[in-house]
Chains A and B, each alone.
Chain A
Amino acid sequence: MRKIELVQNILEANEAIAAQNKRLLDEHGVFAINIMSSPGAGKTSLILQTIARLKGKLRIGVIEGDVASTLDAEKVKNEAVGVVQISTRNMPENCSLIASMLDPALKKLPLEDIDLLLIENVGNLICPSEFVLGEHKRVVVSSLPEGDDKPIKYPMIFADADAVVINKADLSPYVDFDIAAFQEAVKRLNSKVKFFELSCKTGAGIENWCSWVLNKIEINIKQAADKGG
């Protein structure tokens, strides 16, 4: 019997592919946002609202991840420059997108014609937190009917989020969701997070979210230019 000492990171395979995806995106000047939430929090609605507000300014592509169906892709296909549906049903992981699923999807999109790529992950607050895809920003969508305890129950997805969107804000008279307590819980484990309270139904608050997206794209372009020149 021989012992082999290794200390080999098992997630490295995913991280290496994610780094390649990021390189491909950067080469084409595409800014990618990984949108994660539980099922029904409003990822598709946020994508539709974002496209509606920004389509005069940006060319937007979408990747839809779902266990089954092309329902979400159908909803956005007339609005975006390109849409690819990833069905995870027969994939090694069906509960989350992983970097190797993104790679073939990126190759199907007209990347040279896209400025912003919105990636809708599978509705799940646990599994997507383990896998990077090659995105520039990670965003979690929470919604008022889900309850304000989600950052306590599923801390990891909030720990890595660059922004947290609090959707369905128009329901606040009807549900007991303590927004301050929710934000406090997220801030305990994430000091850099930005919050956006909005309603995809009424459109209230979408403006601030879109300004953040535009600002992050500008910063990214500037950083790329500084690096290049």
Chain B
Amino acid sequence: MHEFGVTESIIDIALKEAKKAQARKITKISLVVGELTGFMPDCIEFYFDLMSKDTIAEKANLHFESAPAQVRCRSCLTIFRPKDTLWSCPECQSQGIEIVGGRELYIESMEVE
């Protein structure tokens, strides 16, 4: 499971930002997780509950949004959301791609009091 370190980073970033904003409490953290990553929201939530105890992030609501997989066809440069594991281009049917989206993991925003 590699969500432990990731959750640690999420809490670090959130606490730092909250301090900058002179907040007393973090109520919500909105996260974007790419569809092509292996990061599991349930797992991040589990660690978050444990690791945020006794910090101002305790009980903050985690909101997850999935970023879709986006690939670019190497032949015709069409950007599309892959429908199958062959990565077939819907325009020219060729099967060579570059990944342009879906591997991200970031904090989009947070809400504080």
Contacts and interface: CB of A to CB of B under 8 A. Distances in A.
Question: Do A and B share a complex?
Answer: yes
Interface of A: 1-11, 13-14, 92-96, 98, 126-127, 129-131, 152, 155-156, 159, 187-189, 191
B92 interface: no
B96 A4 contact: no
A5 B13 CA distance: 13
- Give the 8 A-B residue pairs with the shortest CB-CB distance, closest first: A92-B5, A93-B2, A127-B2, A152-B85, A126-B38, A92-B4, A8-B107, A10-B105
Contact of B106 (A2, A7, A13): A7
Contacts of B58: none
Which secondary structure characterizes the binding site on chain A?
Answer: mixed
A98 B17 contact: no
Interface residues of B, number: 41
A156 to B, nearest CB: 6
B12 interface: yes
Interface in B1-24: 1-2, 4-6, 8-10, 12-13, 17-18, 21, 23
21 contacts: A1-B112, A4-B21, A4-B112, A6-B108, A7-B106, A7-B107, A8-B13, A10-B9, A10-B107, A11-B6, A11-B105, A13-B9, A14-B9, A92-B8, A127-B2, A129-B38, A130-B38, A156-B37, A188-B96, A189-B87, A189-B99
Contacts of B1: 93-95
Nearest to A152: B85
Contacts of A130: 2, 37-39
B106 A191 contact: no
A1 B5 contact: no
